[in-house]
Amino acid sequence: MPIRCIAHHINLLTNDICKLEFAQSTLKKCMKLVHFFKASHQADAELTDEIKENMVKGVLRCEEALKNVANNNPNYLKQNIKEIITRHFFIDIEELQLILKPIKEAIKYLEMKNATLANCFLQLIKLLYSIKSLSETRTTFRQ
């Protein structure tokens, strides 16, 4: 089997992972947060100020900024948005990122012209360790 076919099969893993209820729920919450802050001028301005102050980028690195907005200005946020901004939500994002990042790297390496079967094996081992390093409560990926 050509190495590029293996890259395609690993890419199919991403589709399967994104179909899991855990992944869909986490991604849906991320999208809800993004849409809310883009639609709310006050909340967006407050979050932007928090981000600038903390010099952070991305949802994961915005955890503290999002919590500050939720705690300091609760009137800006709808209840369903407040319920998303919990530590559990950020743990879910971290775990989803932990599993998707090695898949992305594996695909990148295996699509190179000089990829070998050894590269494939190494990337699969990295993926295995990523799955094993997930928290004990997250058994979805270990099935």
Q: Please state, in angstroms and rounded to a whole number, the distance separating the CA atoms of residues 96 and 134.
A: 9
- pLDDT for the residue 58: 64
Q: Please state, in angstroms and rounded to a whole number, the distance separating the CA atoms of residues 143 and 135.
A: 14
**CB–CB of 17/100 below 8 Å?**
yes
Q: Is the pTM of this model over 0.85?
A: no
Q: What is the pLDDT along the chain (143 residues), one digit of tens a residue?
A: 666 677 788 888 888 888 888 889 988 988 888 888 888 877 777 777 776 655 434 667 778 878 888 888 777 778 888 888 888 888 888 888 887 888 888 888 788 878 888 888 888 888 888 878 776 656 555 45
Domain count, the chain: 1
- pLDDT for the residue 7: 79
- pLDDT for the residue 42: 76
- pLDDT for the residue 55: 47
- pLDDT for the residue 124: 85
Q: Note down the domain range covering 137.
A: 3-142
Orientation angle between helical segments 87-110 and 117-132, nearest 10 degrees: 170
Q: What angle do CA 129, 31, 33 make, to 5 degrees?
A: 105
